[in-house]
Amino acid sequence: MSSPDTMKPALASLARTCEAIANGRFDDVEDLYGVITDDAVEEDIRALAETFSGMVVQVEAREFHSSQLIAELTETKRRLEAAEARLRKENADLKTRLDKFEVTYDQEQAEMEIREVSDTDYFRSLQSRAKDLRSRYKP
């Protein structure tokens, strides 16, 4: 069993380190390893320090993973913004081109062109042949 003299520094170190961890500072984690490996410290205190060190490893792993995800998301956002800018430019270019090719529909012109086509002998001949074919193959 450990003496109270060796317990106080170990508990104080453990308390400081746990407070630092709770505040997101992991620099003092080495102090936990010191408590874990000190045979003069009671087994329960060493087990507690080992548990906290395991938690620190998990927290650091999560933070590392989170920072990687944030970096990936930042890069994805950058790419999406670049793609959006390209699409905006392409849409503006297409709109400009479309405006240049604007076509107006002239009803009178269309009717005149239809009359010109339908008043030809060739068109009347096609109509007559179509009518004959329909009458032959009608059920």
Rounded CA gap, 32 and 131, in Å? 99
Asked if residue 3 has pLDDT above 60, the reply is: no
Count CB-CB contacts under 10 A for residue 82: 10
Model confidence pLDDT, tens digit, residues 9-31: 778 888 888 888 888 888 778 88
Query: Per the confidence metrics, is the pTM higher than 0.85?
Result: no
Q: How many residues does the chain have?
A: 139
- Percent of the chain whose pLDDT exceeds 70: 92
Model confidence pLDDT, tens digit, residues 60-91: 899 899 999 999 999 999 999 999 999 999 99
Rg (CA), the chain: 42
Asked if residue 102 has pLDDT above 80, the reply is: no
Which pLDDT value is given to residue 33? 85
Residue with tokens 């790419």: 79
Which pLDDT value is given to residue 107? 85
